[in-house]
Amino acid sequence: MLRSFANITTSGSGVIGRRGFLGQMAAGLGAGALTLSWRDMLMAKAKEVQKAGKSMILLWMDGGPSQFETFNPKIGSKFQGPATAIPTNVPGVEFAEYWPKTAQVMDKIALIRSMQSAERDHFRAIKLVRTGYPIMPTINYPTWGSVVARDRYDPEFDLPAFVRIGKPRIKTRDVTAGVLGTRFESFKIDEAGKLPEDVLPRVSPEVLQRRLALAAELDQQFADAGSAKAAREQQEIYKRTSRFVLSPLLKAFNLDSEPEKLRDAYGRNYFGQGCLLARRLIETGVSFIEVINGGSTGDQGWDTHKRGFKENPVLAAETDSGYATLLNDLQDRGMLDNTLVVWMGEFCRTPKFGADGGRDHYSDGWLCGFSGGGVKTGQVIGATDAEGVKVSDRPVGVQDLFVSFCHILGLDPHDEYITDQQQPLKLVEGGKLITELF
């Protein structure tokens, strides 16, 4: 099974285990033999680390971004609005003017302009696009990060396999681990650089261990009374949590060690700093990171029914630096080929707009950007007509996305897993590989 980015395994060629690696590093530092930081040491082992399996970062544009004001402007169309187009660094490809930095990394993006789905309601579309399955009343399908976390799960790895940075605009539209259960739920960070208050222990490690030992005794009594399964699950949560809060890897969540110039380049806002944290977590070994971008004001986010001509430039300005810098930073560190970065929302916006530039929900010709992970970038896949009303070339469905995710991450989309209810589910039901990506 493929493992997360930093789970270096022992081999005849001398690659040491992750825990052994950290231990040797700490011993060397204690003896004064090593002067490199933990991250420097990790990157010095880049070739070995890259054998551990590809990771994924999902940049989630909560609310459904307008294609006209992002990456598929239709200059000359009556539906375009005031946004003009600017060239990218790929000849013949233009973006809306609000994305000058992302335009200069188009060579690192494979942009799909012809996404289609039948869902134009937020709740239903979010469930579809985040799980690969339409809503079913009898099955709570898991979000894709939980599926990846299940495959990459390593009980000896200190950090969660799945981390979510940022909050959904509307809590009731969140997508959970569903039938996969709490073991594969995301660890949630509302704001990059700020761990939840209940993460850092309020007592010494020794006191914490004594309390955990007492809890284990009580859980065993509970198990002996006939609730063994519940007790095992509770104990697993305790063990994982204690290992997490006491781990030296917890410092990956702290952004203070990053150069001020680099933090500025990412953008001093929730999304930009979230992208920086995503890069740090990928370095550390987390397999799936989701960075939610719902805008910094109100709860409209990319759901620009109102004030679209005013709000879209603001939303783009908060996103442009983080997206572009993340791709450049990953490439500079030799990590982009081993990390799939996906930019998307749940759908797009109607060609027709109101007097203030507001657009309604639309799902014919929405956008998805692929970067890294071995994808063939610097290209556009699919197209919409001159007015941006209909897909005119190479329609791509939601299940096609998930089949392609599987291909990149080394998963078999036809594999089945068994839920706690003893129900077999495929990773993806239907869909075809987007062959142009490879």
- Non-local (6+) Cβ contacts of 112 within 8 A are 367, 368, 369, 370, 380, 381, 382, 396, 434
- Residue 188 located in a structural domain: yes
Tell me what pLDDT residue 208 has: 63
**CA-to-CA dists, residue 31 to 19, 28, 35, 41, 175, angstroms:** 18, 5, 10, 16, 48
| Residue 424 shares a structural domain with residue 289 | yes
Phi, psi of 345 (to 5 degrees): -125, -165
One-letter amino acid for residue 93 of the chain:
V
Distance, CA of 347 to CA of 127 (rounded, Å): 12
Phi, psi of 58 (to 5 degrees): -105, 120
- Residue 286 located in a structural domain: yes
Cα 265 to chain center, whole Å? Answer: 20
Question: Residue 180 carries which DSSP code?
Answer: G
Burial 258-286 (b: 16+ CB within 10 A, else e): beeeebebbbebbbbbbbbbbbbbbbbbb
Distance, CA of 43 to CA of 45 (rounded, Å): 5
| Residue 107 shares a structural domain with residue 192 | yes
**CA-to-CA dists, residue 340 to 130, 263, 366, 381, 432, angstroms:** 16, 22, 20, 17, 19
Tell me what pLDDT residue 21 has: 43
- Residue 212 located in a structural domain: no
- Residue 224 located in a structural domain: no
Distance, CA of 145 to CA of 57 (rounded, Å): 9
Q: Which residue has the tokens 């997206």?
A: 323
Distance, CA of 373 to CA of 407 (rounded, Å): 10
- Residue 79 located in a structural domain: yes
| Residue 142 shares a structural domain with residue 96 | yes
Question: How many domains does the chain divide into?
Answer: 2
Structural domain for 29, as ranges? 1-53
Which of 53, 71, 89 finishes a domain? 53
Strand partners, 417: 425
Contact (Cβ atoms closer than 8 angstroms) between residue 272 and residue 318: yes
**CA-to-CA dists, residue 286 to 36, 193, 437, angstroms:** 22, 16, 24
Contact (Cβ atoms closer than 8 angstroms) between residue 305 and residue 358: yes
- Residue 204 located in a structural domain: no
| Residue 401 shares a structural domain with residue 303 | yes
First vs last Cα of the chain: how many Å apart? 23
Tokens of 60: 């989630």
Distance, CA of 11 to CA of 16 (rounded, Å): 7
| Residue 137 shares a structural domain with residue 22 | no
Q: Which residue has the tokens 């916006």?
A: 349
| Residue 123 shares a structural domain with residue 38 | no
**Closest Cα partner for 234 from 251, 248, 220?**
220
| Residue 141 shares a structural domain with residue 7 | no
Tell me what pLDDT residue 80 has: 98
| Residue 42 shares a structural domain with residue 62 | no
Contact (Cβ atoms closer than 8 angstroms) between residue 278 and residue 240: no
Tell me what pLDDT residue 44 has: 44
Contact (Cβ atoms closer than 8 angstroms) between residue 113 and residue 380: yes
| Residue 3 shares a structural domain with residue 103 | no
Q: Which residues of the chain have pLDDT under 70?
A: 1-52, 198, 200-205, 208-209, 211-212, 215, 219, 222-223, 226-242
| Residue 124 shares a structural domain with residue 140 | yes
Which of 53, 69, 94 finishes a domain? 53
| Residue 92 shares a structural domain with residue 35 | no
Q: Which residue has the tokens 């929730």?
A: 270
**Closest Cα partner for 356 from 306, 406, 414?**
306
* CATH code for the domain of 301: 3.40.720.10
| Residue 34 shares a structural domain with residue 127 | no
DSSP 76-128: T-TTS-S--EEE-SSTT-EEETT-HHHHTTGGG-EEEEEEE-S--SHHHHHHH
Please classify residue 44 by burial: count the beta carbons closer than 10 Å to its beta carbon, then call 0-12 exposed, 13-18 middle and 19+ buried: exposed
Cα 264 to chain center, whole Å? Answer: 21
**Number of CB atoms found within 10 A of residue 255's CB:** 16
- Residue 254 located in a structural domain: no
- Residue 276 located in a structural domain: yes
pLDDT in tens, 375-410: 999 999 999 999 999 999 999 999 999 999 999 999
